[in-house]
Amino acid sequence: MNFDIPEELAALQQKVRRFVAEEIIPFERDTRLTAHGPADDLRREMIAKARAAGLLSAHVSKEFGGLGLTHRGKAIFFEEAGYSLLGPVALNIAAPDEGNMHLMEVVARPEHKERWLRPLAAGEIRSCFCMTEPAPGAGSDPSMLQTTAEKDGDHYVINGRKWFTTGADGASFAIIMAKLEDGRATMFLSDTDRPGFVVERSMDTLDTCFPGGHGVVRLDNLRVPATDILGELGEGFKYAQVRLSPARLTHCMRWLGAARRAHDVATDYARRRQAFGKTLGSHEGVGFMLADNEMDLHSARLAIWHTAWVLDQGHLAIHDSSMSKVLASEACWRVVDRCVQILGGQGVTRETAVARIFADMRAFRIYDGPSEVHRWSIAKRVIKGIRKDV
């Protein structure tokens, strides 16, 4: 693997870095930031800036207005975007929209791409992905899917309940996972203003960076035309892998940027703050934490870049993405936790970005598969001798 960053990509990296520093970080004190993400007018204002800079939806193909980056290119771009918690929103590469765009480019029919993908890639609308269910439904085990889709003429009638549906409040359309009468999982596309699609509430969660928060959704005799099946009948779990392996990795990319931001804040503080006759960073205990941060950031980045390379070779990277998800989520969490400790009292206030990153980072070890589930998946593949995707 060549670790050199091509000249064109290095220039893009610097452009994104400047854009986030000059245009987006100033919004971090904006009064339009809510407990459920930036308000829609703030989101649109930031997206307009990204559009003007030619940086919108970089992962999407040029046909749909993006830059058509490879997975390796995304690793560079997304890390820089993640340096501010608002960066992924501004650049239209935040979850769940980023993963939904990727899935639709691969799977959706041309008419679906025009109807939903094009305005989504343009930042004109938002979307959500209705998969996770309250007990006894699907959580970490997707085979426990309870939401049903019954054929009724040229429609399917969907009933069920979803929660932790990121971005549900304010989303224009949803990708819904449901099971047919024969038990096969299928994905459906639906506008959210159809009768029967009900956002009951937004959940009170630790993180605050996702537009629309995390919703509880009730599907109450939601009628979806058979023409709005995403892909093919019964292929829902296969398509989930098309979406989830790259989406797992883009989470890692974005949160690596946030962890690097926390590390930079803590390093700057350790250089300036005096204690016991010298700067904090001169004390071995603090210096060792900064050294451990450097090593965790480096190892996480290497894991991400390698998995991006595997994806760019055309593989699903199920094994590699699971390893990267565990490695990066736990490494980034350790980094941010140490930064809180280095900052002391400052670390538990919102007067620096670190406390906000700390609160938002914690869920990273849970969503898109908790570390324990990925370890189990990795172990099963090791035992079977299956470590490569073919």
Q: Where are the domains of the chain?
A: 7-94, 127-232, 237-384
Please work out, in degrees rounded to the nearest 5, the angle formed at the alpha carbon of residue 230 by the alpha carbons of 210 and 184: 105
- DSSP secondary structure of 2-32: --PPPHHHHHHHHHHHHHIIIIIGGGGG-TT
**What share of the chain in percent tops pLDDT 90?**
95
pLDDT of amino acid 390:
46
What CA–CA distance (Å, rounded) separates 73 from 76? Answer: 5
| Average pLDDT for the chain | 96
pLDDT of amino acid 251:
97
Q: How does residue 284 score in pLDDT terms, banded at 50, 70 and 90?
A: very high
Q: Would you say residue 380 has pLDDT above 90?
A: yes
Q: List, for residues 342-359, the tens digit of each pLDDT value.
A: 999 999 999 899 999 999
pLDDT of amino acid 242:
86
pLDDT of amino acid 270:
98
Phi, psi of 147 (to 5 degrees): -65, 130
CATH label, 7-94, candidates 1.10.540.10, 1.10.3720.10, 3.40.50.150, 3.40.50.300: 1.10.540.10
155-166 and 148-152 beta bridge pairing: antiparallel
Residue 170 region by backbone torsions, left for phi larger than 0, else alpha for psi between -120 and 50, else beta? left
Q: Would you say residue 152 has pLDDT above 70?
A: yes
pLDDT of amino acid 166:
98
What CA–CA distance (Å, rounded) separates 61 from 355? Answer: 35
pLDDT of amino acid 214:
97
**What share of the chain in percent tops pLDDT 70?**
99
Q: Would you say residue 381 has pLDDT above 70?
A: yes
Q: Tokens at residue 19, please?
A: 């854009």
What CA–CA distance (Å, rounded) separates 180 from 241? Answer: 19
Q: Tokens at residue 376, please?
A: 């189990």
Q: Would you say residue 259 has pLDDT above 80?
A: yes
Q: List, for residues 290-336, the tens digit of each pLDDT value.
A: 999 999 999 999 999 999 999 999 998 999 999 999 999 999 999 99
pLDDT of amino acid 106:
95
- Whether 7-94 shares its CATH topology with 127-232 is answered no
Tell me, what amino acid is at 334? R
Q: Would you say residue 265 has pLDDT above 80?
A: yes
pLDDT of amino acid 386:
84
- Please give the CATH superfamily to which domain 237-384 belongs: Butyryl-CoA Dehydrogenase, subunit A, domain 3 (1.20.140.10)
Is the bond leading into 370 cis (omega within 30 degrees of zero)?
Answer: no
- Please give the CATH superfamily to which domain 127-232 belongs: Butyryl-CoA Dehydrogenase, subunit A, domain 2 (2.40.110.10)
Q: Tokens at residue 212, please?
A: 């629309």
Using DSSP, state whether 169 is helix, strand or coil: coil
pLDDT of amino acid 389:
60
Q: List, for residues 55-104, the tens digit of each pLDDT value.
A: 999 999 999 999 999 999 999 999 999 999 999 999 999 999 999 999 99
